[in-house]
């Protein structure tokens, strides 16, 4: 069952965007980033696409 996030449809803060960039540069997986930011994976993918970030895929 998918985890539910209470932060549905909330705007991204500057600190969250900086943390997202840091975690992507560190090479963390989408699932780990999702738990760290307490946001859904879909939300993170959308924001990463807007910022032209490439999230590492698990092999």
Query: Is it the case that residue 6 has pLDDT exceeding 70?
Result: no
Cβ neighbors of 23 (< 8 A, separation 6 or more) are 32, 33, 36, 37
Work out the percent of the chain whose per-residue pLDDT is above 90. Answer: 73
Decide if pLDDT at 3 tops 80: no
Q: How far apart are CA 8 and CA 48, in angstroms?
A: 17
Dist. CA 32–CA 9, nearest whole Å:
20
Rounded Cα–Cα distance for residues 34 and 43 (Å): 9
Helix (H, G, I), strand (E, B) or coil at 16: helix
């Amino acid at each position: 069952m998918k985890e539910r996030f209470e932060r549905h449809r909330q705007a991204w803060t500057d600190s969250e965007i900086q943390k997202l960039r840091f975690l992507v540069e560190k090479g963390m997986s989408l699932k780990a980033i999702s738990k760290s930011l307490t946001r859904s994976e879909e939300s993170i993918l959308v924001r990463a696409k807007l910022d032209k970030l490439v999230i590492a895929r698990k092999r």
